[in-house]
Structure 1
Amino acid sequence: MILRRNFLPHILPDISATLFLSVCVAITFWFELFVVVPEFHAPGSLAYNLTFAAAVFLLLNVKGNMLAVMLVDTSIKGRILTPPEDPEQKKQWRLCSVCETMAPPRSWHCNTCKTCILKRDHHCLFTGCCIGHHNHRYFMMLMLFLFIGSTYASFYNHYFIWYHHAKMYKSYWTVLKLVMPLFMLTLDTTSGNFYLAIFELNLIAIAISGMLLIYHGKIILKGGVVHERRKPMYNLGWKQNLKIVFGERWYLVWILPFIESKLPHDGIHWEKVGSNSAKNR
């Protein structure tokens, strides 16, 4: 595994989105454990300790997978690129005028990352880097745990706001605040408005991460990446497709981002995969 040296985002949209996600996750973690959960479970009780452990597990996976996406280098840098000798197979390679090298199939140049990305899927604003062959697994796990964590938090927040503090929030004024939460925070900076903003941010996170999981999950199961979604050319069946993204131990990668799961492909030579896919069609 090759790691990126300059892994921090370096353009303003990437910096803003990455910082926004990092701060929101940290604030939500604090809010749930030290404001919301104590109203349901007494601190130090078994229920509170189990909830605390579950929250730490979710935070570790969100932050760990996010960091892995940013750290793992999925570009052509530092890799030996040897085009096949067969003329027909060599036609699938292309010359990248920016990188000044022959780039393998499924790799595309990213103007933001300033390099060609192996099996490039897309550029992710919230991590400030491209999602490709070597960090695709971590991106999908990041989306999965964002969805689970946001759903888990929203369950508690729902009862915290609409039942435990119903007198404060059950009004038409609250509906207006939910429609324009950031605008209302500039007019009213009380803790009640702040809690309402966190509640809505979690709902938005559920919607976005859920849609991304479904969208990218369908593409992965067909063996493709985003720009191949309409015509997947490397479909080996759902199980093998999962292994190419999540590795040989694909059924364990959800536990922690640190679990090793070796990828069965180098992300460079796709000629054989394309041939096997054509036979299955």
Structure 2
Amino acid sequence: MKYRIPIIRNASDFVYFLIISVLLPIVLLFDVIVVLPEIHEPDSFPYDFTIIMALLIYFNIHGNMIACMIIATSVKFETVREPSAADAERLEWRHCKTCDRFAPPRSWHCRYCGVCILKRDHHCGFMGCCIGHHNHRYFVCFVFYLFVGAIYALVYNTLYIVVFTDGVANCWKNALVVRFPAHIPSCSFWVNVQIIIFGLNIFTLICASMALIQQVSIVLRGAVSAECGRHPKYNCGIYHNLRSVFGVRMHLAWICPLIESRLPSDGYSWKCISNKDLK
């Protein structure tokens, strides 16, 4: 596995990266410092357990995010041996007009990254890089832990607002009865902060849910986003499909981004199901 220096070339990607890099720590600190002591007695087992879980989830979110950004997943034209023009079509290598080289199967050129990506799934704006063969595992885990963290936070934030904070709950009721969000400015600054964090929590959960559903669907089918709607040529069974993303230690790879799990494929050649099975 090779690494790269993460350089965000697109201005919009940089904005998205700042949003997730700044807002996640703010929400974590708010929940740990403000919300949690209201629900659990400090130094009690539920309090300590929730703190540990929050830190583990946060570590996995940012750890997998960093892994996606620093792991190189582009085609290494300088080291790979390209097939001849006569063999390229048979081996399903395509000519990339931008790179003016033959690119391996399932690789696509990214106009943001400026390179061909092995088994390219998509370009992620929040990370400023492409999700491909070598970092797909980390992106799926990133989305999964973002989903888990959003649910965890939403449960505690809902309890805090509904049960322990009458001011926020009343402000929400009044805002819904009157004209939302025109009523929000009449609430105090602290109440508005809590409302905004609660709204961000819901928005994050919706986005993470949609991304997780989409990723689970394509991973189980052994596909990438660009192959959706096509014949399942690379769908060799759930076990093989999961192994091709999470590696030979797939039963452990999802627990922590620091766990090494070698991928069975080099990203240049792929196991396919027979043409007979496609019919």
Structure-1-length-normalised TM-score:
0.90
Label 1:201 to 1:153 Cα distance change in 2 as closer, same or farther (>3 A): same
Matched-pair contact (CA < 8 Å) for 2:167–2:191: no
Q: Measure the CA separation in 1 of the matches of 2:56 and 2:178.
A: 32
Query: What is the root-mean-square deviation in Å for CA atoms of aligned residues?
Result: 2.4
Q: Secondary structure at the match of 1:10?
A: coil
1:210 aligned onto 2:209: yes
Match of residue 46 from structure 1? 45
Matched-pair contact (CA < 8 Å) for 1:18–1:127: yes
Q: Measure the CA separation in 1 of the matches of 2:43 and 2:72.
A: 42
Label 1:90 to 1:179 Cα distance change in 2 as closer, same or farther (>3 A): farther
Q: Measure the CA separation in 2 of the matches of 1:177 and 1:28.
A: 28
Match of residue 191 from structure 1? 190
Greater Cα shift, 86-95 or 27-36? 86-95
Q: CA deviation at 1:26?
A: 0.5
Q: CA deviation at 1:277?
A: 4.8
Matched-pair contact (CA < 8 Å) for 2:118–2:268: yes
Label 1:227 to 1:178 Cα distance change in 2 as closer, same or farther (>3 A): farther
Match of residue 164 from structure 2? 164
Label 1:123 to 1:180 Cα distance change in 2 as closer, same or farther (>3 A): farther
Q: CA deviation at 1:174?
A: 3.8
Greater Cα shift, 169-178 or 129-138? 169-178
**Structure 2, unpaired ranges of 5+:** none
User: Which letter does structure 1 place at the counterpart of 2:208?
Assistant: S
- List per-residue Cα deviations over 1:131-167 (Å, max 9, x = no partner): 1000000100000000000100000000100111134
Matched-pair contact (CA < 8 Å) for 2:244–2:263: yes
Label 1:118 to 1:176 Cα distance change in 2 as closer, same or farther (>3 A): farther
**Structure 1, unpaired ranges of 5+:** none
Label 1:184 to 1:267 Cα distance change in 2 as closer, same or farther (>3 A): farther
Match of residue 31 from structure 1? 30
Matched-pair contact (CA < 8 Å) for 2:95–2:103: yes
Identity %: 39
Matched-pair contact (CA < 8 Å) for 2:248–2:264: yes
Q: Measure the CA separation in 2 of the matches of 1:133 and 1:189.
A: 49
1:155 aligned onto 2:155: yes
Matched-pair contact (CA < 8 Å) for 1:81–1:104: no
Match of residue 80 from structure 1? 79
Q: CA deviation at 1:250?
A: 1.1
Q: Secondary structure at the match of 2:126?
A: coil
Q: Measure the CA separation in 2 of the matches of 1:142 and 1:44.
A: 30
Structure-2-length-normalised TM-score:
0.91
Match of residue 14 from structure 2? 15
Q: Secondary structure at the match of 1:95?
A: strand
Q: Measure the CA separation in 1 of the matches of 2:30 and 2:64.
A: 22
Q: Measure the CA separation in 1 of the matches of 2:70 and 2:277.
A: 35
Q: Secondary structure at the match of 2:192?
A: helix
Q: Measure the CA separation in 1 of the matches of 2:260 and 2:276.
A: 31
Q: Measure the CA separation in 2 of the matches of 1:217 and 1:42.
A: 38
Q: Secondary structure at the match of 1:260?
A: coil
Match of residue 68 from structure 2? 69
